[in-house]
Structure 1
């Protein structure tokens, strides 16, 4: 047997030219492609791949200027829109808050029968005189002009809504040619006779300042007797308790309600209180001869003020009385408030008038 030379076997191909083949395991028989991997170069672990950034298109100077102009115009438009909304909001707020709420449609309070009175102002006191202290009978005398303590007429009755202007509180001097009773108010030191007539009482002071609210008229203390069914009882009361002065104011409002307020001033709080207690039970008005004391909750009044209400038994529409009366006791002053209306006196208006008159006397 002759030995033959063995032909040289080809060497392994270089690594970069050969494909690494991973042996197929029995578990991967179903997917033969899963056994083949390619040695691709992997990026470093700490280095993120660079994002792809498309090249920005180049703009000409004209395009850049046009773009800036568009931005400026947009900014101006938005600024104008914000300014317009701000002006509109401010104008709306002023339109709502500047006028009175009752003058704005939709916000006005429905009329409940109350009247429109001017701001209440107390008249000036004479020099050296103090305001009344209703808690102390010895200091509870009203020193101000009684006519200016009457509630003024409301706007609904032709009254003014401007605050009253009072004259200087100086006592006029009586002259020899003119009697004191014709030029001055009833004096607190000289009691007036119960039967004094209105013609003998004083006229409004001539020294009133220009534009001053016209005062009410002085009347005789027994002038109220013409409204009573039993004027003799009033005469008896005035004989026992000396009435120093009396005044009256009356008006008829646009709703047809007639109001009359009388003030009677006495020499002492005790005399006035005696007249108040007896008058509220003994005196019967011609307009309401069957009036009885009103029931229900009492009104909140100022300390030292006492009120008694009486309602007529004659009613109109839903049981509203046609006459309402209030007797008020305020130290040395007695007030009688009478309101009548054939269609019924509104309870709100009656309470408003009585409460405001009490405030002036307090």
Structure 2
């Protein structure tokens, strides 16, 4: 009988107790170029150090950017190198404050009644560019007219703080300190500055110029500014004097002065304005403005042999108008 069992059958695996033994698996050699455990640990350490360095750099950049932004925003743009706008001639004035009125006196309404405030307080203060102070100032001594050539001279009202620390009570014929508000005036000092003194004197006598104050300064750009306020008995007399001065020959020692109606200027309610500009028109050495404000007439004169900046002239005239309105 033939045995059907395959003679090549696998022999029985050796048995150890009841558990068959498993032959050991040979160790697999690492692939060529694969990192070892030490190499992987070293690389992880490098990554952590790089992350720390980049994090520290980001923090430093954020702090530097924040500091730079604070430094830039804390200053005025005009104070930063490379960002300052070229000056067009305008000045830096202290904050304008209307003077206090004497007890029982009211402010002018529509500039129809008289200004009761101290005339010196109605003068534009001195700008920073001329050595002016931007801090509050003390009260000046009261005005008292000492007489001086006009038959109708009378005492000017008193009180209030001076817009300039250098304000002092002197006659207009004296040479005031830079920026000083000179007063009381006899109106003769103004007449002496006019090209046609006889006409100017007759005009001020006809309409009874009562007193006058003046403020003068010279800015760092060489522009000399003079502001005169002439006081009259009524708004009608003041306007008639204003019209005569506006149509007159203007200041002496000035090249041909022609009318130049201001265009694009902000109108100040209650103020009548007329301007005149000396030739050449491109760079006029003198600019003059006449203001009518109730019982007051203002004459603003800016002069500079190199030419008076139009922006400075407009600024001074507008701010002086604001104080009179």
- The TM-score with structure 2 as length reference comes to 0.72
Specify whether residues 246 and 125 from structure 1 end up closer, same or farther in structure 2 by C-alpha distance, changes over 3 A only.
Answer: same
In the TM superposition, what whole-angstrom CA distance separates every residue of 1:16-75 from its partner, at most 9, and x where no partner exists? xxxxxxxxxxxxxxxxxxxxxxxxxxxxxxxxxxxxxxx9x9x98x99987876665455
1:137 has 2:119 as partner: no
Question: What residue number does 2:136 align with?
Answer: 164
For residues 289 and 73 of structure 1, do their structure 2 counterparts lie closer, same or farther at Cα, with a shift above 3 Å needed?
closer
Given that 2:89 and 2:311 are in contact with CA atoms closer than 8 Å, whether structure 1 keeps it comes out as yes
C-alpha separation between the residues in 1 aligned to 2:118 and 2:60? 58
How far apart are 1:142 and its partner, in Å? 2.1
After superposition, give the CA deviation of every residue in 1:149-179 in whole Å (9 maximum; x if it has no partner): 111222332x2241332428xxxxxxxxxxx
Distance 2:207 2:264 in 1: 28
Offset of residue 340 of structure 1:
1.9
Taking a change above 3 Å as real, the CA distance of residues 74 and 342 of structure 1, as seen in their structure-2 partners, is closer
Matched, 1:353 2:325: no
1:112 aligns with 2:88: yes
CA contact (8 A) 2:152 2:209 kept: no
* Residue aligning to 2:24: none
Number of corresponding residues: 278
In the superposition, relative to structure 1, how do residues 196 and 322 fare at CA in structure 2: closer, same or farther (>3 Å)? farther
Gaps of 5+ in 2: 1-29, 169-180
**Which residue number in structure 2 is paired with residue 335 of structure 1?**
298
Instruction: Return closer, same or farther for 1:208/1:269 CA change in 2, 3 Å cut-off.
Output: closer
1:253 CA displacement: 2.3
Which of these residues, 268, 282, 292, is aligned with residue 302 of structure 1? Answer: 268
| Counterpart in the other structure of 1:194 | 150
**Which one of the candidate residues 65, 82, 87 is aligned to 2:58?**
82
Q: Deviations over 1:228-283 (max 9, x none)?
A: 12222233223332333310011222332222110012222222111111221125
Aligned-pair distance for 1:110? 0.6
SS in 1 for 2:93: coil
* Contact 1:121/1:163, CA 8 A, preserved across alignment: no
CA offset digits 1:307-331 (Å, max 9, x no partner):
1011123x3xx84222211101112
Q: 1:304 Cα shift?
A: 0.9
Q: CA RMSD in A?
A: 3.6
Deviation at 1:98, TM superposition (A): 1.0
Deviation beyond 4 Å, 4+ runs, structure 1:
62-75
Match of 1:250?
216
- Residue 186 of structure 2 contacts residue 210 of structure 2 at CA under 8 Å; is this kept in 1? no
